[in-house]
């Protein structure tokens, strides 16, 4: 009898260990593709962002900003609505924080306006570098608005990043154009938007927020067009195709970023997005014959390095939490 019990215990013990080994291997096999998916989506978001810039540079000389934004919001709505329905079903329009959503809409419209203006009037790489500096402003403002603590390393990175902004804009030379303020304003609006999205993400689904934002943006542009009808220009067939692509790529960019955050840590997604700056500079050089000066390149590198330090420290902080 004792021998039978020992044999049964041994069999059960081996079975449990074998099952635990299978679960461990299965979990590891799932985790690796999931993280790789996040990296792939982050790189895809970078490509979509660069493609958005290319389309804007191409459209810049053909139509005005109001027409561009009008069609950009219009052609984004169907895709984002379909995505939200796929994710949330009948609740795709449910929002729990309408006031914060309204603030997100205002900041989003301001940010996309200044971003488009900077791309239309500045070298591709320089505009992208200034926009990426929004991470620096997020770190600068987060203690004031979110009560987050910032250590000495991140403060040093903020100071270095601001120094990079000074280098790239060169405000003391007397040659700084008004267009530089578009890039800085886009970065500030993007930083404020990031802080608002942190609060909004605690109670609302990103897919639903994206639908409401794009619908609200289209309504605001429609009102503007009704008041000032001459701002909506007639467009050719080729320009119309580019505007459709702009809406499609803009929607794909939002979906890629949103999905990437579900598969990878936020710092991984943010770090991958910094590839947008050198890629934009290369694309600007080959497609639009834009050349950044050595001073602008140095400033852009300082900004990227400071943002990477901030992202790395954020990763360490989140792992401690």
How does DSSP assign 155-217, residue by residue? Answer: HHHHHHHHHHHHHHH-TTSS---HHHHHHHHHHHHHHHHHHHHHHHTTTS-HHHHHHHHHHHH
Of 300, 260, 266, 295, the residue nearest 138 (C-alpha) = 266
Each residue of 287-317: b (16+ CB within 10 Å) or e?
A: eeebebeeebbebbbbbbebbbbbbebbbee
On whether the CB atoms of residues 236 and 227 are closer than 8 A, the answer is no
Residues of the chain with pLDDT under 70: 1-35, 61, 145-148, 169-177, 261, 263-272, 313-321
Contact assessment for residue 75 and residue 218, using Cβ atoms and an 8 Å cutoff: no
Q: How far apart (Å, rounded) are the C-alpha atoms in residues 172 and 170?
A: 6
User: How far is the C-alpha of 80 from the C-alpha of 211, rounded, in Å?
Assistant: 6
Give the count of beta carbons closer than 10 Å to the beta carbon of residue 64: 15
What was the pLDDT predicted at 5?
39
pLDDT of residue 136: 77
**What per-residue confidence (pLDDT) applies to 99?**
93
Cα separation of 280 and 271, whole Å? 16
What confidence score (pLDDT) does residue 141 get? 76
Supply the pLDDT for residue 35: 57
**Whether the Cβ atoms of residue 231 and residue 67 lie closer than 8 Å to each other:** yes
Q: Name the DSSP class of 290.
A: -
pLDDT in tens, 95-154: 999 999 999 999 999 999 999 998 888 888 888 888 877 877 877 777 776 666 777 777
Angle between the N-to-C axes of helices 178-200 and 124-132, in degrees from 0 to 180, rounded to the nearest 10: 40
Kindly report, residue by residue over 279-292, the tens digit of the pLDDT: 888 888 888 888 87
How much is the pTM?
Answer: 0.79
All residues at 6 or more sequence positions from 53 whose CB lies less than 8 Å from its CB, including other chains? 119, 124, 127, 128, 280, 283
């Amino acid at each position: 009898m004792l021998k039978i019990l020992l044999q049964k215990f041994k069999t059960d013990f081996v079975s449990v260990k074998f099952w635990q080994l299978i679960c461990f291997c299965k979990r590891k096999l799932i985790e690796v593709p999931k993280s790789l998916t996040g990296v792939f989506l982050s790189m895809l978001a970078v490509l979509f962002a660069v493609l958005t810039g290319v389309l804007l540079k191409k459209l810049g000389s053909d139509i005005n900003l109001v027409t561009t934004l009008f069609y950009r919001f219009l052609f984004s709505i169907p895709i984002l609505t379909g995505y939200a329905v796929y994710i949330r079903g009948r609740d795709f329009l449910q929002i729990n924080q309408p006031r914060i959503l309204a603030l997100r809409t205002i900041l989003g419209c301001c940010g996309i306006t200044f971003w488009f203006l900077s791309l239309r009037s500045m070298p591709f790489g320089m505009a992208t570098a200034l926009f990426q500096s929004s991470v620096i402003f997020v770190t600068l403002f987060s203690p004031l608005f979110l009560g987050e603590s910032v250590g000495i390393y991140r403060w040093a990175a903020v100071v270095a990043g601001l120094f990079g902004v000074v280098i790239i804009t060169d405000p003391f030379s007397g040659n700084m154009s008004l267009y530089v303020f578009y890039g800085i304003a886009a970065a500030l609006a993007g930083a404020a938007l990031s802080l608002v999205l942190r609060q909004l993400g605690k109670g609302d689904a990103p897919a639903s927020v994206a639908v409401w934002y794009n619908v609200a943006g289209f309504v605001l542009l429609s009102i503007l067009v009704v008041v000032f009808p001459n701002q909506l220009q007639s467009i050719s067939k080729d320009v119309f195709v580019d505007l459709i692509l702009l809406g499609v790529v803009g929607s794909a960019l939002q979906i890629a970023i949103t999905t990437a955050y579900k598969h990878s840590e936020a710092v991984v997604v943010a770090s991958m997005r910094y590839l947008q700056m050198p890629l934009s500079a290369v694309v600007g050089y080959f497609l639009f014959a834009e050349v950044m000066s050595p001073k602008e390149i140095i400033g852009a590198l300082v900004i990227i390095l400071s943002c990477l330090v901030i992202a790395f420290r954020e990763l360490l902080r989140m792992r401690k939490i």
